[in-house]
A and B are shown apart, each in its own frame.
Chain A
Amino acid sequence: MPVDLKAVTRRPPEVVKVRVKRFHPEKGQGWWQTYEIKTYRGMTVLDALLKIKAEVDHTLVFRYSCRMGVCGSCGVVVNGEPRLSCQTQISEKATPERPEVVVEPLYNFPVLRDLTTDFTEFFEKHRKVRPYLIRLDKQERENPALEYEQRPEELEAFYEYTLCISCGLCDAACPVYASNPRFLGPQALAYAYRYLADSRDEGWRLRLEELERDGSVYRCHFAASCSSVCPKVVDPAGAIQRLRRALLAYNLRLFKKRTAKNVEPMKVSAERWPLPPEARLMEGVDLEAQEKGAPVIPKEKLLED
């Protein structure tokens, strides 16, 4: 999600209309409600919702936690685009010509009340792709005595996908997830690729067999909306294409993967790294003594109050 610096730093219109799509489960009806609030520079959509809840209408229900784009619980649809409400400035969406922000619950998720959506199905799909490391040596997996060897470039191959915060914006933007309830969704598939690409994981045969049987990978048609709305730049669209290439290669018996070996933990040596010959210690510094404990500063060097 690229940031338009000019739009997020400008002053929003003085008064902004916030249109919220609401739903009451006990009445069983949905309706649109419009609130007018005064804004300030730097106000986010979440701030606006909190202000409405505090000052105008306390029955408005929404989910949030960290307010800084880390927890991924405040996903809503703002002016037709899935966004984290805590990371969306009012000034990005409301212009002086059209001072209006339309807030809806996330598309493709069942709505519990107002802006709160149900993530049960989402996390079931997440669980389906086995989001954990699989090692063939069960004894070693349960009671590890050794470490996994991993090179920096092997970490780079999947590091990007580990940043996912499970906010569900990609699934809300996906046109295939919208119509096909069996589709695993960009989030789960990106996670499947994250573990497939991890050199410590040995379960690639199991993962690929399951994905082939499920068929979700082939349902993706690269509309790439998931990548364009992702607040953490996880790039699920790229992950699914790589997953599909891996599956096609696996079906042609061409898939290869280097898995990490178990290695002895690195020995921590107590010996000091020798100083280069041109290095000279400062006066009054005793390295040997410093390694044993905190440095003792001579009293005459302390500043008096």
Chain B
Amino acid sequence: MKRILENRLGIWASFKLMGATLNNNPERIAFILHRITGIILVGFIFAHIVSTNSLARNGWESWVAVEVEHLRGINPISIAFFIAIGAAVYHGLNGIRLLLVEALALWIGKPERPKPPYVAPSLKGFQRKAIYAVFVLSIIIWAAIGYVMFFW
């Protein structure tokens, strides 16, 4: 018999889009995307490190036949590369913002007395504009990379 109900959301709070129901909080969406792209990147990069090792083991013929030819045109390998590069672009741009906000405490406004419309200074600071810039820029850069990869 439970006398007390544990109500912790657990690790899934980091992935649940609670940010959509919290108003005025795109930082939460940026945080969730940062985690998801981070996990994608870890999976991709470790596979990348292991697969490029075939260069040292099997020589150049198999490298050209297996690795390079799979990147030409649209196929599962090149799409995996495309997704990973998109994740890297977002993770990097948002990471620059986070470096400035977290490590140096820039762009989060100054402490001030509450006044209407009662929005916290760190949500009004330049980092809020930077989030939208990150979203827009990463889509533009991702599209440009897609053009170079598939239609050059």
Contacts and interface: CB of A to CB of B under 8 A. Distances in A.
Interface of A: 1-3, 23, 25-26, 28-30, 79-81, 105-112, 117-118, 156-161, 163, 173-176, 178-179, 181, 197, 220-225, 227-230, 232-235, 237-238, 241-242, 244-245, 248
A111 B5 contact: yes
Given A222-B98, A223-B27, A245-B103, A237 B120 contact: yes
B19 interface: yes
A111 B3 CA distance: 9
Given A107-B7, A175-B14, A233-B118, A222 B123 contact: no
B25 interface: yes
Given A235-B111, A244-B105, A23 B5 contact: yes
B23 A225 contact: no
Nearest to A180: B11
Interface string B113-125: 1101111111101
A238 B121 contact: yes
B114 A163 contact: yes
Nearest to B4: A110
Given A224-B27, A238-B108, A244-B102, A233 B4 contact: no
Given A175-B31, A238-B122, A245 B105 contact: yes
Interface of B: 1-11, 13-14, 18-19, 21-25, 27-28, 31-32, 34, 98, 101-105, 108-109, 111-114, 116-123, 125
Contacts of A81: 21-23
Contact of A224 (B1, B3, B6, B123): B123
B123 to A, nearest CB: 6
Nearest to B128: A224
A160 B114 contact: yes
B111 A108 contact: no
18 contacts: A28-B3, A81-B21, A81-B22, A105-B7, A107-B8, A108-B9, A175-B9, A175-B13, A175-B14, A175-B28, A223-B31, A228-B25, A234-B120, A238-B105, A238-B120, A238-B121, A241-B108, A244-B103
A255 to B, nearest CB: 13
Contacts of B11: 178-179
B122 A224 contact: yes
